[in-house]
Amino acid sequence: MSSWLPLPANTGFGPDTLPYGVVGNRVVVPIGDQLLDLATALARVDGTLARLVDRPTLDPLLAAGRPTWDAVRTTLHRLLTVDTPEHRRAIEAALRDPGAPPQLPFTVADYADFYSSQQHATNVGRIFRPDAPALPPAWKHVPIGYHGRSGTVVVSGTPVRRPRGILGSGRYGPTERLDIEAEVGFVVGTPSRLGEPVPAADWGEHVFGVVLLNDWSARDIQSFESRPLGPFLGKSFLTSVSPWVVPLAALEPAFVDPPAQDPRPLDHLQPAGPALDLTLEVRLNGQLISRPPAAALYWTPAQQLAHLTGNGAAVRTGDLYASGTVSGDAADQLGCLLELTRGGQDPVRLPDGTTRAYLSDGDTIDITATAPGPSGTLIGLGAVSGTVMPAE
């Protein structure tokens, strides 16, 4: 639906998106190329909702639960699309020009990363284990994942310091194979009770919204440490997220059927729930290198949450779980350099004539995404960006 407020074209942030972020210790909503101070906008029409977001973080809104999430979104949408003098005064009083850089919008309570793309898992298996089956035995039975470090999740724009680690037997130093992973992250709002698994059907009652995520990876460190327990230091030094949390309600037009699953997942992973028809774009130094499709992910966000809590583990407000690298079938749909270069054997040639097997100091990675909106429109999910700095 169009807004009475004049908005520039092609920003992806209109009244059908309404993502949330924090700038200058204020909860804001980007509208076009401006920011809306949410508490100021709501204060003229609903003081209770205004007080909830009159904070320097999204944490209280996340914890409030779906009825409140829906009330905030509905009220704000009405302010922007129903043209009355009162609504104009409320919005005009709340508009701000972007000033300070965005902050991490919520407190990351915990972080887990899944491995949900069959294409990615197969490609990586063939590279890392050429003499063994590409997929681990459990891969089609459960959404495999690893437990990351919440303290290393940072907002887009934070510099990426090249990490040091053990690169092989007797070798310690800066990683020589710094990589990216283009992913989708899911932000938990409503917590669950310890000992009570979250049914897959209830995922939308717990997940507040979506961020874009780059799970930076040191492939040499990862390769040496990963047998038998999987990644640890090679993937826990930094994870970048986009500054805007797009609510699930904005993405309902992007809900699609997931790929067929064979064998049929166990009952606690049913129903599978929707996949998200998001198209990610990965740019290296401003040059497009890949367009991974999130709809191709084998395991859905509902199944990931059900598995995350299937042993009775609780989720808390601010928990973040990620899809794992998004990759498709085509050569230009791969979500990391490990796949794009076949383990560094076939470097990517960029439009400017340079090549990369892995990232060099000074390289900048930008990951953006779009999704179908109402009536054939497109909405944006913002961007997650980071520039590589030399090891200290």
Co-location of 215 and 133 in the same domain: yes
Which pair of tokens denotes residue 306?
Answer: 């059900």
Task: Compute CA distances 256 → 18, 275, 294, 297, whole Å.
Answer: 21, 5, 10, 11
Task: Compute CA distances 174 → 60, 233, 271, 291, whole Å.
Answer: 40, 12, 44, 29
- The residue segments making up the domain with residue 58 are 21-101
Scan for tokens 């089609």, then name that residue.
140
Does 14 reside within a domain?
no
Q: How many domains does the chain have?
A: 2
Co-location of 57 and 126 in the same domain: no
Co-location of 51 and 179 in the same domain: no
Domain edge (last residue) among 70, 101, 132: 101
- pLDDT recorded at residue 11: 72
CA-closest candidate to residue 52, choices 27, 80, 74: 27
Does 290 reside within a domain?
yes
Does 219 reside within a domain?
yes
Does 5 reside within a domain?
no
Co-location of 194 and 278 in the same domain: yes
Active site residues: 120
How far, rounded to the nearest angstrom, does the alpha carbon of residue 251 sit from its chain's CA centroid? 13
User: pTM to 2 decimals?
Assistant: 0.97
Decide if 162 contacts 178 (C-beta within 8 A).
yes
pLDDT one digit per residue (tens) for the chain, 392 residues: 678 888 876 678 999 999 999 999 999 999 988 999 999 999 999 999 999 999 999 999 999 999 999 999 999 999 999 999 999 999 999 999 988 999 999 999 999 999 999 999 999 999 988 999 999 999 999 999 999 999 999 999 999 999 999 998 889 999 999 999 999 999 999 999 999 999 999 999 999 999 999 999 999 999 999 878 888 999 999 999 999 999 999 999 999 999 999 999 999 999 999 999 999 999 999 999 999 999 999 999 999 999 999 999 999 999 999 999 999 999 999 999 999 999 999 999 998 999 999 999 999 999 999 999 998 899 999 999 999 999 98
CA-closest candidate to residue 369, choices 199, 272, 234, 251: 251
Co-location of 366 and 348 in the same domain: yes
Calpha distance 375→328 (Å, rounded):
26
Co-location of 97 and 115 in the same domain: no
Does 308 reside within a domain?
yes
Co-location of 273 and 250 in the same domain: yes
Domain edge (last residue) among 63, 80, 101: 101
Angle between helical axes of 85-94 and 66-81 (0-180°, round to 10): 110
Does 296 reside within a domain?
yes
Co-location of 61 and 137 in the same domain: no
